[in-house]
Structure formats: C-alpha cells, structure tokens
Copies of this chain bind each other. A is one copy, B any other.
C-alpha cells in the first residue's frame, strides 16, 4: 500500500494530503442554503451540505494530489447521516484514484482493536459473505494500549495490503505532557517510535513499511531525531499551516531521497477562500481557492526539499 502512495506522490510531485475535515462554519452560505431548503435545518441537511462541499473540493483538486485524509470526528458529530457522508466521501475519492487515509485514531484492547481494524481497513464476515464497512487505504491508530492493542491493526494490514499511521509525536500544544516525559533519559515518543519500527518490520513494501507514524510539523527538532530512528517509516505530518508549522519545519521529516513524509493541511486548503490571500475567489468559487491553495502549498514544500 505504501508503494501506491509513493507512486502517486512521485507522479503529482506533491507530498501532501488534503484534510477533508468539514465544519459547517467552513461551508459557504450558498451551499448551506440549498441543502437546508431541500432537507431543512436537520442532520440530513447538514450532511448534504458537507457532501456538496467535499465533492466540489475533490473535483477541483484531485488531479494535483496523491491523497486525502478525512477526519471521521467531523462526520461522527452529525451521527448516522454524517457517517454516511464519510463513507460516500471515501468511495468518491477512491474512484478518483486518490489514496484515502482514514483519520480515526482508534485503539483498544486486542479484541476491540480487531473490530476497529475490521471496520476501517478490513472485512467483516456475515454468514458466508464478507463485507467492507468504511474501507479506507490507511488508518490512524493510537498506541496507548501497547503491542496487543496495535497488533490486530497490523495483522489486517498484512492480510488486506493496507497501511497505518500510528501516533508518535502529535502536533498539538500539550502533546508533550505525556509524550515528552523522559524514561531512562529518553522521551516516551522515542519508545513509541521504536515500537512502531518493530511492528512495521515485517510489513515492508519496497523501501518503506506499510506501518507509518504520525509526527507533528510543529516540533522540528523532534522530527529530526525521529527521522533518524525510523528511516523506513513513512511520516504523516499534521500541523502545517493553520496549526503553525512552516515548510522549513518540515524539512526534517523527509529522507535524503525526498520521500518519507506526507504533509496534511485541512483548514488551510478546504477553507482557503476565507483567508485574505484567496479572498479574491469569493465564496462562490471556494473550490478554486482550494485548488490555488494546494498549488501554493506544494510549491512551498518543494522549495525546501
């Protein structure tokens, strides 16, 4: 699976993913109005607006990018109707040839993690038939439970040729509260990183493992250490743009081969039209603003590689 992502990155020359994390407040008035007219101010109405918003952004950016990362929480908050749009967005992006990273940060004891792995990257058996539920290409995973909580995800990756990005060092301000704590002189995130390498060792797909890591753009000195500790691990890098990470901060996440990292931007792309820089597009042409924001982001990142 990681090779599919790498090939798409090489073809588009764009080591990025677009975070499809729609908030109703990002959605232009004309889209909301149309959906609310059809469905009322209901969960169906909200879901319809999100779908129309997502579709237009994907239609305007898919040829420039290798992948998208829908954040399931943004859909889950609208209940069943929201999750239907998550599923529909995943399918639509895959039909456009995009690699889809399901950002769900799941993780639990073994038997429960097995159910989550089935839900998001595997197949569920119903009598003599097998079905895929959300079926993304990659899934983000939380490591707090340790090996037996992560192993079921890794096993499904092997069986189905899928991939993971496991939280190592997250991009948020208080990520250091537990993740940076020193254990025998080394921060917890380094211990997690070593486990990620161990879990990924027999999931190699070419030069890289299908088991990747989440490494925030907001802590570049730590990225440099992690890059050395995990040379064959792909990094999913959140925190660029709206969260404060710059292109310069990203350099340390890449290997000398120019590979090794995929940088996410959510708000910075999908709500670009609300930035002064892209205001000229106007809310009606929000997806064109997103396209321009993708072009600018790719140029910005490539300028430091």
Which residues of A are interface residues toward B (Cβ below 8 A)? Answer: 21, 24, 32, 36, 41-43, 45-46, 71, 73-74, 76-80, 82-84, 87, 105-110, 112-113, 115-116, 118-120, 124-129, 131, 133-134, 142-149, 167, 170-179, 181-184, 188, 191-192, 195, 238, 243
Residues on the B chain within 8 Å of A71, using CB: 108, 112, 115
Other-chain residue from B21, B106, B167, B191 in contact with A73 (beta carbon distance below 8 A): B106
With beta carbons under 8 angstroms apart, the residue of B80, B82, B110, B144 that contacts A142 is B144
Contact A79 B73 (CB under 8 A): no
Q: Which of B120, B126, B149 contacts A46 (CB 8 A)?
A: B126
* Complex copy number for this chain: 2
B105 touches A45 (CB 8 A): no
CA distance A21 to B116 in the complex (A): 13
User: Are A188 and B178 interface neighbours, CB within 8 A?
Assistant: yes
B181-A77 in contact (CB<8A) = no
Q: What would be 29 A-B contacts, judged by CB atoms less than 8 Å apart?
A: A21-B112, A41-B128, A42-B131, A43-B133, A45-B127, A71-B112, A71-B115, A74-B112, A76-B115, A76-B119, A77-B119, A77-B133, A78-B133, A79-B133, A79-B134, A82-B133, A83-B83, A105-B106, A105-B108, A109-B243, A145-B172, A146-B174, A146-B176, A147-B177, A149-B174, A182-B184, A183-B183, A183-B188, A188-B188
